[in-house]
Amino acid sequence: MELSEYRPRTRLRVEESHVPRAAVPAIDAHNHLGRWLTGDWTIPDVKSLLALMDACGVETIVNLDGRWDAELEANLDRYDRAYPDRFLTFCHVDWTRLGRPGALAESLRKSVAAGARGLKVWKDLGLHIRDDSGRLVLPDDPRLGELWDAAADLGVPVWIHTADPIAFFDPIDERNERYEQLLAHPDWSFADEERFPRFDWLMDSLEALVAAHPRTTFVAVHAGCQAEDLGRVGRMLAAYPNLNIDIAARIAELGRQPRATRDLILRFPDRVLFGTDEFPPSADLYATHFRFLETLDEHFPHSDDDPPLMGRWRISGLGLPEDVLARVYASNAARVLGL
C-alpha cells in the first residue's frame, strides 16, 4: 500500500451531534458569491441559495466579490438589489491605480455610493502587488493611507486577508503539515524567500496598519490571519479596539486548539464574527460550523474531503454559551456592518 492510500478509521466512540440550523439567526460574514475567484457565478441559482439559508438559519451572507465599476453593479443587481437585506456586497479597489494620488480613495467612494457595504482587501496586497519600481506593496504602505482614511470617513469596514497559513511559507517537504495540500496546489506556496516576504513580516505590517488607522474598522479574516498563533491574535485584539476577526476557513486550525480558541472568544466576545468562506455553501458545511461553535463534541471531521484539504486531523467543538453565540453569529457583524 502506498502511504498516500492510507485512510485510517478512528475507533473512538464519541458523542455525535447533528446541528442543521444555527442556534440564532446568523450572518455568514465571509463568503464568495460572484465571479471573481471562479470566472462564473459561484451561485447559479440564487433562489436555491435563499432556500438553503432559510433552512440553516442564515439571515444574510456577506458577498466579498463585488470588485468595482461594472462587476460591482452586476453583483449588486444579482444579490443586494434583487433580495434586500439577504446579501451585502463588498467592493475591491484596482491596485494598478496606486500611482495616482487620490485614485484609490475615489474608487472606494464611488463603490460605496453605488451600494458597496465594505471594502475587501485580499492577500495579493503584500504577496503580489508591486509598484512601478517593482517593489512589493505591503498593507502598511503609507501611500495607502488615503484608502483607509476614506473607509473611516465613509463609515464602512475593511475585511483584510494578509498572508496565508504559516505552513505555506515553509518548504514543501516531509516536515510540512500541509504537504498534500501544497503538492496539489504548488502555486499556493510562498516558500521562495526571494519572491515573497516572510509570514511574520506580513503580520507585522498588518499590525502596523491597524495601529496607524484607529478610526478605521478592520476585520482581519481567517482568525486574524494567523489562526496558528492565537496568542498574538489576542494581544492585537487587546491593543486595538478597531480590530475584529472572523473564523472563516479556519475551523480546522481553531478546532485542533479548542480550549485556546474558546478562551479567546470568551475574552473578546464582541470582536469575533461567524463566517465560512465555503463556496458554494451547503447544508453539510453549515452544520459542521454550527457543531463546532455550539457543541462540546470531540474528534470530528472538519471536512467531508478524504483526505481533508485543510489538514489530516480532527477537531473538537467549543460549546459557546448562548449569549456569546448570539454575538458571534450575528450581532457583532451587525454592529461592524452598521445594520
Domain edges within the chain: 15-337
Containing 28, the helix (H) or strand (E) segment is strand 26-31
Rounded CA-CA distance 271/219 in Å is: 9
Residue by residue, pLDDT tens for the chain (339 residues) are 888 788 888 899 998 999 999 999 999 999 999 999 999 999 999 999 999 999 999 999 999 999 999 999 999 999 999 999 999 999 999 999 998 999 999 999 999 999 999 999 999 999 999 999 999 999 999 999 999 999 999 999 999 999 999 999 999 999 999 998 999 999 999 999 999 999 999 999 999 999 999 999 999 999 999 999 999 999 999 999 999 999 999 999 999 999 999 999 999 999 999 999 999 999 999 999 999 999 999 999 999 888 888 888 999 999 999 999 999 999 999 999 999
Q: Homologous superfamily of 15-337 in CATH?
A: Metal-dependent hydrolases (3.20.20.140)
Q: What would the grid cell of residue 151 be?
A: 473607509
Write the DSSP assignment of 269-308 as a string of letters.
TTSEE-----SS--HHHHHHHHHHHH----SB-S-SSSS-
Q: Which of 305, 290, 301 is nearest to 18 (CA)?
A: 290
Per-residue confidence (pLDDT) for residue 299, from 0 to 100: 96
pLDDT of 143 reads 96
Q: How far, rounded to the nearest angstrom, does the alpha carbon of residue 212 sit from its chain's CA centroid?
A: 22
Count other Cβ atoms within 10 Å, centred on residue 102. 12
Rg (CA), the chain: 20
| pLDDT score for 4 | 79
Q: Which is it for strands 272-273 and 26-31: parallel, antiparallel or unpaired?
A: unpaired
Grid coordinates of 149 = 482614511
Structure confidence at residue 264 (pLDDT): 98
**What's the confidence (pLDDT) of residue 62?**
98
Cell of 72: 460591482
C-alpha distances (whole Å) from 261 to each of 74, 247, 266, 292, 320 are: 38, 10, 9, 11, 10
